């Protein structure tokens, strides 16, 4: 593994550059110059700049979906599933902050063929989380007076937004932030009678 393929080097460099300056502000020339390669090499590995953007999107969202599904499968109660998913997601966001920045800010630049695929996967990711919330409501573990779609999007928003402000060099680690998020979400949506199970995830005052 000492030798990285040119393709991988292109992807890695692009992720970094796109995050910094945005897809449209980074030229193919700049990417290849950045890694000391040539345009010929670039277009040998990618049909188009657009295909590169798609690959970056797909690597990220496919990983998120798989991790979310794993977290779901690993546990069997709504509360533990939700906590595991929050844990997993923030962890992914910690690792893939550059990818997610591109994912959420450059998806409009994808051409139609790729755009459809990515949007379907993005919806799939949300559906996994929403399923957990809905199942929790069915078993009266989560408050039914809150619409599950809104709860889902509130959680998604809270987590996703971290890509805008989280700094790995900051005061708090992503683990600490996750604990706070988990606490807030559980207190917000768990019913009184189910709060006992959630207690272990709540920060003591």
Partner DNA sequence: AGTAAAATACCGACTAGTCGGTTTGTAAAA
Partner DNA sequence: TTTTACAAACCGACTAGTCGGTATTTTACT
Residues at the site binding DNA, with contacts judged by CB under 7 A: 5-7, 24, 26-29, 32, 36-41, 43-45, 48-50
Dist CA 168 CA 95 (whole Å)? 10
Pick the closer one to DNA by CB: 15 or 85.
Answer: 15
Residue 30 touching its own copies (CB under 8 A)? no
Shortest spacing between CB 135 and DNA, in angstroms: 44
The DSSP secondary structure of 92-148, one letter per residue, reads HHHHTHHHHHHHHHSGGGS-HHHHHHHHHHHHHHHHHHHHHHHHHHHTTSB-TTS-H
- Find the binding residues for its own copies in span 170-199 (CB under 8 A): 172, 176-177, 180-181, 183-185, 187-189, 191
- Let me know: does 151 contact 104? Beta carbons within 8 Å: no
What are the b/e assignments for 43-73, b being 16+ CB within 10 Å?
eebbeebeebbbbbbeebbeebbebbeebbe
Which partner in its own copies, DNA, none is near 157 (CB below 5 to 8 A by kind)? its own copies
Neighbours of 158 (CB within 10 A): 14
Residue 43 C-beta: closest distance to its own copies, Å: 21
Judged by CB under 8 A, the number of residues near its own copies is 41
* Footprint of its own copies (CB under 8 A): 21-22, 24-25, 104-105, 108-109, 143-147, 150-151, 153-154, 156-162, 164-165, 172, 176-177, 180-181, 183-185, 187-189, 191, 203-205
């Amino acid at each position: 593994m000492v030798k990285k393929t040119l393709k991988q080097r292109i992807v890695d460099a692009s992720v970094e550059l796109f995050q910094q300056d945005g897809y449209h502000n980074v030229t193919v020339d700049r990417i290849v110059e950045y890694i000391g390669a040539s345009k010929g090499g670039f277009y040998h590995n990618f049909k188009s700049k657009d295909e590169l953007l798609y690959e970056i999107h797909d690597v990220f969202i496919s990983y998120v979906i798989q991790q979310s599904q794993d977290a779901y499968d690993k546990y069997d109660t709504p509360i533990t599933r939700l906590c595991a998913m929050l844990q997993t997601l923030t962890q992914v966001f910690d690792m893939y902050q550059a990818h997610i920045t591109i994912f959420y800010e450059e998806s409009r630049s994808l051409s139609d063929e790729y755009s459809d695929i990515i949007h379907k996967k993005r919806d799939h990711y949300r559906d996994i989380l929403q399923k957990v919330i809905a199942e929790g409501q069915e078993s009266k573990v989560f408050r039914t007076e809150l619409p599950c779609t809104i709860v889902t999007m509130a959680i998604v928003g809270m987590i996703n937004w971290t890509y805008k402000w989280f700094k790995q060099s900051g005061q708090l680690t992503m683990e600490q932030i996750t604990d706070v998020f988990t606490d807030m979400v559980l207190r917000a949506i768990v019913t009184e009678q189910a709060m006992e199970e959630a207690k272990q995830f709540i920060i003591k005052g």
